[in-house]
Chains A and B, each alone.
Chain A
Amino acid sequence: DAGVTQSPTHLIKTRGQQVTLRCSPKSGHDTVSWYQQALGQGPQFIFQYYEEEERQRGNFPDRFSGHQFPNYSSELNVNALLLGDSALYLCASSLGTRRGAYYEQYFGPGTRLTVT
Protein backbone atom coordinates (compact mmCIF):
# COMPACT_ATOMS: atom_id res chain seq x y z
CA ASP A 1 0.00 0.00 0.00
CA ALA A 2 1.65 3.20 -1.18
CA GLY A 3 1.74 5.96 1.32
CA VAL A 4 1.62 9.65 0.52
CA THR A 5 4.03 10.58 -2.24
CA GLN A 6 5.28 14.01 -3.23
CA SER A 7 7.25 15.34 -6.16
CA PRO A 8 9.74 16.71 -6.72
CA THR A 9 11.95 16.03 -3.70
CA HIS A 10 13.94 19.20 -4.09
CA LEU A 11 13.46 22.32 -6.15
CA ILE A 12 15.44 25.50 -6.66
CA LYS A 13 13.69 28.54 -8.07
CA THR A 14 14.45 32.23 -8.54
CA ARG A 15 12.51 35.08 -6.99
CA GLY A 16 9.46 36.00 -9.05
CA GLN A 17 9.11 32.56 -10.61
CA GLN A 18 6.20 30.22 -10.20
CA VAL A 19 6.32 26.66 -8.84
CA THR A 20 4.02 23.65 -8.79
CA LEU A 21 4.33 20.88 -6.23
CA ARG A 22 2.49 17.60 -6.50
CA CYS A 23 1.00 15.14 -4.06
CA SER A 24 -0.60 11.73 -4.35
CA PRO A 25 -2.62 10.70 -1.28
CA LYS A 26 -2.52 7.40 0.52
CA SER A 27 -4.70 4.80 -1.14
CA GLY A 28 -8.32 5.20 -0.06
CA HIS A 29 -7.91 8.79 1.15
CA ASP A 30 -9.91 11.60 -0.40
CA THR A 31 -8.70 14.69 1.48
CA VAL A 32 -5.40 16.48 0.98
CA SER A 33 -3.90 19.16 3.19
CA TRP A 34 -0.79 21.22 2.52
CA TYR A 35 1.59 22.54 5.16
CA GLN A 36 4.65 24.76 5.03
CA GLN A 37 7.49 24.15 7.45
CA ALA A 38 10.00 26.94 7.76
CA LEU A 39 13.28 26.38 9.56
CA GLY A 40 12.86 26.05 13.31
CA GLN A 41 9.07 26.07 13.20
CA GLY A 42 6.33 23.50 13.18
CA PRO A 43 4.34 22.88 10.00
CA GLN A 44 1.88 25.69 9.20
CA PHE A 45 -1.44 24.87 7.55
CA ILE A 46 -1.84 26.30 4.04
CA PHE A 47 -5.12 24.80 2.88
CA GLN A 48 -7.14 21.62 2.57
CA TYR A 49 -8.90 20.13 -0.44
CA TYR A 50 -11.88 17.83 -0.33
CA GLU A 51 -14.12 16.83 -3.22
CA GLU A 52 -11.98 18.96 -5.53
CA GLU A 53 -12.72 22.13 -3.59
CA GLU A 54 -10.71 24.19 -1.14
CA ARG A 55 -12.42 23.43 2.14
CA GLN A 56 -10.35 25.56 4.47
CA ARG A 57 -7.47 27.97 4.15
CA GLY A 58 -4.79 29.07 6.54
CA ASN A 59 -3.17 32.48 6.80
CA PHE A 60 -1.36 32.45 3.47
CA PRO A 61 -1.58 35.02 0.65
CA ASP A 62 -3.40 34.42 -2.61
CA ARG A 63 -0.06 33.67 -4.26
CA PHE A 64 -0.60 30.21 -2.81
CA SER A 65 -3.24 28.27 -4.69
CA GLY A 66 -4.09 24.66 -5.18
CA HIS A 67 -6.08 22.11 -7.01
CA GLN A 68 -7.43 18.65 -6.39
CA PHE A 69 -8.05 16.24 -9.24
CA PRO A 70 -10.78 13.60 -9.56
CA ASN A 71 -8.28 10.91 -8.51
CA TYR A 72 -7.75 12.92 -5.27
CA SER A 73 -4.18 13.90 -6.10
CA SER A 74 -3.37 17.55 -5.54
CA GLU A 75 -1.12 20.38 -6.64
CA LEU A 76 0.18 23.36 -4.73
CA ASN A 77 1.05 26.40 -6.84
CA VAL A 78 3.01 29.37 -5.60
CA ASN A 79 3.28 32.47 -7.81
CA ALA A 80 5.73 35.37 -7.63
CA LEU A 81 8.10 33.48 -5.35
CA LEU A 82 9.75 35.34 -2.49
CA LEU A 83 12.90 34.39 -0.60
CA GLY A 84 10.67 33.77 2.41
CA ASP A 85 8.85 31.00 0.55
CA SER A 86 11.91 28.80 0.98
CA ALA A 87 10.69 25.95 3.15
CA LEU A 88 9.73 22.29 3.28
CA TYR A 89 6.24 21.77 1.88
CA LEU A 90 4.39 18.82 3.31
CA CYS A 91 1.33 17.15 1.94
CA ALA A 92 -0.97 15.13 4.19
CA SER A 93 -3.89 12.93 3.28
CA SER A 94 -6.83 11.73 5.30
CA LEU A 95 -10.15 10.01 4.88
CA GLY A 96 -12.91 12.56 4.53
CA THR A 97 -13.97 14.84 7.31
CA ARG A 98 -17.21 15.26 9.11
CA ARG A 99 -17.88 17.77 11.80
CA GLY A 100 -17.20 16.35 15.19
CA ALA A 101 -14.79 13.67 13.99
CA TYR A 102 -11.07 13.66 14.51
CA TYR A 103 -8.93 12.02 11.91
CA GLU A 104 -5.34 11.00 11.35
CA GLN A 105 -3.39 12.80 8.71
CA TYR A 106 -0.71 10.81 6.91
CA PHE A 107 2.21 12.86 5.68
CA GLY A 108 4.47 12.61 2.69
CA PRO A 109 8.23 13.23 2.90
CA GLY A 110 7.90 16.78 1.63
CA THR A 111 9.33 18.93 -1.13
CA ARG A 112 12.24 21.17 -0.20
CA LEU A 113 11.86 24.48 -2.04
CA THR A 114 14.76 26.90 -2.17
CA VAL A 115 14.17 30.36 -3.59
CA THR A 116 17.29 32.31 -4.58
Chain B
Amino acid sequence: ILNVEQSPQSLHVQEGDSTNFTCSVPSSNFYALHWYRWETAKSPEALFVMTLNGDEKKKGRISATLNTKEGYSYLYIKGSQPEDSATYLCASQGPSGGYNKLIFGAGTRLAVHP
Protein backbone atom coordinates (compact mmCIF):
# COMPACT_ATOMS: atom_id res chain seq x y z
CA ILE B 1 0.00 0.00 0.00
CA LEU B 2 1.33 3.40 -0.98
CA ASN B 3 1.28 5.77 2.02
CA VAL B 4 1.37 9.50 1.53
CA GLU B 5 2.55 11.40 4.59
CA GLN B 6 2.14 15.12 5.13
CA SER B 7 3.75 17.29 7.75
CA PRO B 8 3.08 19.20 9.80
CA GLN B 9 -0.51 18.27 10.60
CA SER B 10 -1.36 21.89 11.34
CA LEU B 11 0.38 25.22 11.25
CA HIS B 12 -0.39 28.65 12.66
CA VAL B 13 1.49 31.61 11.20
CA GLN B 14 1.22 35.37 11.26
CA GLU B 15 0.26 37.38 8.20
CA GLY B 16 3.38 38.07 6.16
CA ASP B 17 5.25 34.96 7.30
CA SER B 18 6.54 32.53 4.71
CA THR B 19 5.89 28.86 5.31
CA ASN B 20 6.34 25.45 3.78
CA PHE B 21 4.89 21.97 4.11
CA THR B 22 6.16 18.54 3.18
CA CYS B 23 4.57 15.66 1.31
CA SER B 24 6.37 12.32 1.38
CA VAL B 25 5.67 9.38 -0.91
CA PRO B 26 7.56 6.12 -1.31
CA SER B 27 9.95 6.90 -4.15
CA SER B 28 9.63 3.40 -5.55
CA ASN B 29 6.08 3.91 -6.65
CA PHE B 30 5.37 7.23 -8.19
CA TYR B 31 4.00 8.76 -11.36
CA ALA B 32 2.56 12.15 -10.53
CA LEU B 33 2.18 14.33 -7.45
CA HIS B 34 -0.85 16.57 -7.03
CA TRP B 35 -1.35 19.48 -4.62
CA TYR B 36 -4.81 20.74 -3.69
CA ARG B 37 -5.99 23.64 -1.56
CA TRP B 38 -9.21 23.03 0.34
CA GLU B 39 -11.01 25.90 2.01
CA THR B 40 -13.77 25.16 4.48
CA ALA B 41 -17.17 24.52 2.86
CA LYS B 42 -15.68 24.68 -0.65
CA SER B 43 -14.42 22.18 -3.20
CA PRO B 44 -10.77 21.12 -3.16
CA GLU B 45 -8.97 23.29 -5.70
CA ALA B 46 -6.16 21.87 -7.80
CA LEU B 47 -2.92 23.83 -7.38
CA PHE B 48 -0.22 21.82 -9.15
CA VAL B 49 0.47 18.52 -10.85
CA MET B 50 4.11 17.51 -11.07
CA THR B 51 5.70 14.49 -12.68
CA LEU B 52 9.37 15.16 -13.29
CA ASN B 53 12.18 15.02 -10.79
CA GLY B 54 13.24 18.59 -10.13
CA ASP B 55 9.90 20.01 -11.28
CA GLU B 56 9.11 23.44 -9.90
CA LYS B 57 5.69 25.01 -10.28
CA LYS B 58 4.51 28.45 -9.22
CA LYS B 59 1.15 30.16 -8.91
CA GLY B 60 1.33 33.65 -7.45
CA ARG B 61 2.87 33.42 -3.98
CA ILE B 62 2.60 29.63 -3.89
CA SER B 63 5.22 27.34 -5.34
CA ALA B 64 6.06 23.65 -5.19
CA THR B 65 9.05 21.46 -5.86
CA LEU B 66 9.36 17.74 -6.47
CA ASN B 67 12.15 15.29 -5.71
CA THR B 68 11.16 11.86 -6.98
CA LYS B 69 14.45 10.22 -6.05
CA GLU B 70 14.05 11.11 -2.39
CA GLY B 71 10.27 10.80 -2.53
CA TYR B 72 9.08 14.20 -1.34
CA SER B 73 7.50 17.44 -2.47
CA TYR B 74 7.56 20.82 -0.75
CA LEU B 75 4.85 23.46 -0.97
CA TYR B 76 5.95 27.02 -0.20
CA ILE B 77 3.81 30.05 0.54
CA LYS B 78 5.58 33.39 0.48
CA GLY B 79 4.16 36.22 2.57
CA SER B 80 1.12 34.31 3.90
CA GLN B 81 -2.21 36.10 3.86
CA PRO B 82 -5.38 35.27 5.83
CA GLU B 83 -6.99 34.08 2.60
CA ASP B 84 -4.33 31.36 2.39
CA SER B 85 -5.93 29.70 5.40
CA ALA B 86 -7.01 26.26 4.20
CA THR B 87 -6.10 22.60 4.28
CA TYR B 88 -3.41 21.70 1.78
CA LEU B 89 -3.62 18.16 0.46
CA CYS B 90 -1.11 16.26 -1.59
CA ALA B 91 -1.92 13.11 -3.52
CA SER B 92 0.20 10.64 -5.41
CA GLN B 93 -0.69 8.82 -8.57
CA GLY B 94 1.20 5.70 -9.48
CA PRO B 95 1.11 2.17 -10.77
CA SER B 96 0.43 0.65 -7.38
CA GLY B 97 -3.26 -0.16 -7.37
CA GLY B 98 -3.75 1.39 -10.77
CA TYR B 99 -3.07 4.75 -12.37
CA ASN B 100 -6.59 5.97 -12.03
CA LYS B 101 -6.81 6.80 -8.37
CA LEU B 102 -5.24 9.50 -6.28
CA ILE B 103 -3.85 8.50 -2.89
CA PHE B 104 -4.14 11.40 -0.51
CA GLY B 105 -2.28 12.39 2.59
CA ALA B 106 -4.21 13.62 5.61
CA GLY B 107 -3.40 17.24 4.78
CA THR B 108 -1.75 20.20 6.46
CA ARG B 109 -4.18 22.67 8.00
CA LEU B 110 -2.84 26.23 7.71
CA ALA B 111 -4.21 29.13 9.73
CA VAL B 112 -2.88 32.61 8.91
CA HIS B 113 -3.57 35.16 11.63
CA PRO B 114 -3.85 38.90 10.83
**A contact set with B: CB distance below 8 Å:** 3-4, 33, 35, 40-45, 48, 55-56, 58, 90, 92, 97, 99-100, 102, 104-110
Contact = CB atoms under 8 A, between A and B. Distances in A.
Contact of A102 (B36, B49, B101, B105): B49
Given A42-B89, A42-B105, A104 B46 contact: yes
Which secondary structure characterizes the binding site on chain A?
Answer: loop
Contacts of B4: 42
Nearest to B98: A56
A86 B63 CA distance: 35
Which secondary structure characterizes the binding site on chain B?
Answer: loop
Interface of B: 4, 6, 31-32, 34, 36, 41-46, 49, 51, 89, 91, 93, 97-107
Contacts of B101: 33, 45, 48, 56, 58
A102 B32 contact: yes
A42 B99 contact: no
Contacts of B99: 97, 99-100
Contacts of B89: 42-43
A108 B105 contact: no
Contacts of A48: 100-101
A34 B25 CA distance: 22
B2 to A, nearest CB: 11
21 contacts: A4-B43, A33-B100, A33-B102, A40-B106, A42-B105, A42-B107, A43-B44, A45-B101, A45-B103, A48-B101, A56-B97, A56-B98, A56-B100, A56-B101, A58-B97, A58-B101, A90-B44, A102-B31, A102-B49, A102-B51, A102-B93
